[in-house]
Amino acid sequence: MNHLVWLALLGGTVASPLMAQELKTRVVLKGHCKAVTSVAWSPDGGTLASGSDDGTVYLWDAAKGRQVGALDPSVAMHFVNSVVFSPDGKALATGSLFATARLWNRTTGKCTATLEGHEDWSITDPINSVAWSPCGSVLACGSNDGAVWLWDVTSGKRTGTLKTTGWLNSVTWSPDGKTLVSAGDAIRLWNVASGKISVVLDLDQTTHSVAISPDGALLASGGSSTISLWDMATGKKMAELKGHSAESKGSVRPAVESVAFSPDGKILASGSRDDTIKLWDIASGENVATLEKHTDSVQSVAFSPDGKTLASGSMDKTIRLWDVTGIVGEVPTPRSADNKKS
């Protein structure tokens, strides 16, 4: 049964085909001296990037569990809030304090462009989220100033501004590149071609993270201790996933900091201020695993492209790579753009 059809059956329950189980950490990556705020996989799955409050971005060999590079440390980034690879894997983008996003050459680690210009920028208006368009030509940057700025990554020129009120914590593209989702004080779905809002989701909480399923049908949002699933076409809330603690150590309020879909679209991962990661079966809404090895808030989660590994970054200054092969279906890893035949 299609998961959207099942989720529409309000009040129904379906037994999960997955058994809740304990998952093991493949490796713990250490090197940052402050909180790890963002983790991102290269398209070929061979490299993991991690951004930190210590102002650094490290590159890790995921198979060997060791650091293999870093972005140029001479470029002062202060707090790095978001890091992402380009679709071809040759570049990275970062978002940090002072309303600044940067583009980087993956091979050399050198900064190739600095993207500045968000309105009324200050230390209180950082770039909280950067997202590369599926075609690789545009970078979206969401800031505390309430705007999403769109940049042509070839020219380094701003091509558009999606202006809202409030603040933005997360931005993401639909798989077809036609819709951009921004989230913070509200969740808005934008028609990229027109620059107009197509849907505003009915929301009563601040949203920290949003993710779109690989087929483009579902949107997941994390805010308080609850994750919501939305129909992308209609904006209707389809389900709520509850299980994270309503109380969180050392935090003013509980929050789901990060959500990510598995490559096959069947599992959702959520990282929380309760120091745990939960894996959810989308078809049934059941929590099929809880990962509890971090000792502080989990800020970022990301599945490897082949679906075998989940990466998590935490305020405990570590990155953990979890073996999720028993839960997530394996997806063939795409070849690196560098290795493709012309």
Q: What is the 3-state secondary structure (H, E, C) of the chain?
A: CCHHHHHCCCCCCCCCCCCCCCCCEEEEEECCCCCEEEEEECCCCCEEEEEECCCCEEEEECCCCEEEEECCCCCCCCCEEEEEECCCCCEEEEEECCCEEEEEECCCCCEEEEEECCCCCCCCCCEEEEEECCCCCEEEEEECCCEEEEEECCCCEEEEEEECCCCEEEEEECCCCCEEEEEECCEEEEECCCCEEEEECCCCCCCCEEEECCCCCEEEEECCCEEEEEECCCCCEEEEEECCCCCCCCCCCCCEEEEEECCCCCEEEEEECCCCEEEEECCCCCEEEEECCCCCCEEEEEECCCCCEEEEEECCCEEEEEECCCCCCCCCCCCCCCCCCC
Q: Which pLDDT belongs to residue 202?
A: 72
What distance, in Å, lies between the first and last C-alpha atoms of the chain? 40
Q: Which pLDDT belongs to residue 119?
A: 53
- State the Cα–Cα distance between residues 128 and 57, nearest whole angstrom: 15
The pLDDT confidence band at residue 97, using thresholds 50, 70 and 90, is confident
Mean pLDDT of all residues in 207-216: 97
Task: Look at residue 277 and tell me if it is in a domain.
Answer: yes
CATH number where 85 lies: 2.130.10.10
Task: Look at residue 195 and tell me if it is in a domain.
Answer: yes
Better-predicted residue by pLDDT, 4 or 133: 133
Task: Look at residue 3 and tell me if it is in a domain.
Answer: no
The pLDDT confidence band at residue 335, using thresholds 50, 70 and 90, is low
Q: Which pLDDT belongs to residue 342?
A: 29
Mean pLDDT of the chain: 87
Q: Which pLDDT belongs to residue 191?
A: 96
**135-189 pLDDT, tens digit each:** 999 999 998 888 899 999 999 999 999 988 778 999 999 999 999 999 998 999 9
The pLDDT confidence band at residue 41, using thresholds 50, 70 and 90, is very high
- State the Cα–Cα distance between residues 102 and 69, nearest whole angstrom: 17
Q: Which domain holds residue 248?
A: 21-323
Count of domains forming the chain? 1
CA 250 to chain CA mean position, Å = 23
Q: Which pLDDT belongs to residue 340?
A: 41
Q: Which pLDDT belongs to residue 15?
A: 31
Mean pLDDT of all residues in 203-210: 87
Structure tokens at 112: 């190739």
- State the Cα–Cα distance between residues 49 and 27, nearest whole angstrom: 15
Q: Which pLDDT belongs to residue 189?
A: 97
- State the Cα–Cα distance between residues 57 and 156, nearest whole angstrom: 21
- State the Cα–Cα distance between residues 57 and 195, nearest whole angstrom: 32
Task: Look at residue 138 and tell me if it is in a domain.
Answer: yes
Q: Which pLDDT belongs to residue 14?
A: 32
Cβ atoms of residues 177 and 137 within 8 Å: no
Mean pLDDT of all residues in 260-282: 96
pLDDT above 50 (res 337) = no
- State the Cα–Cα distance between residues 98 and 143, nearest whole angstrom: 10
**11-26 pLDDT, tens digit each:** 333 333 333 456 888 8
Cα torsion through 37, 40, 46, 52, rounded to 10: -20
**279-319 pLDDT, tens digit each:** 999 999 999 999 999 999 999 999 999 999 999 999 999 99
Task: Look at residue 4 and tell me if it is in a domain.
Answer: no
pLDDT above 60 (res 1) = no
Mean pLDDT of all residues in 122-134: 83
- In DSSP terms, 239 is beta-bridged to 229
Task: Look at residue 7 and tell me if it is in a domain.
Answer: no
In sign, the C-alpha dihedral spanning 43, 49, 51, 56 is: negative
Task: Look at residue 331 and tell me if it is in a domain.
Answer: no
Mean pLDDT of all residues in 259-283: 96
Task: Look at residue 85 and tell me if it is in a domain.
Answer: yes
pLDDT above 80 (res 105) = yes
pLDDT above 80 (res 111) = yes
Better-predicted residue by pLDDT, 210 or 336: 210
Q: Which pLDDT belongs to residue 124?
A: 54
pLDDT above 70 (res 268) = yes
Q: Which pLDDT belongs to residue 131?
A: 98
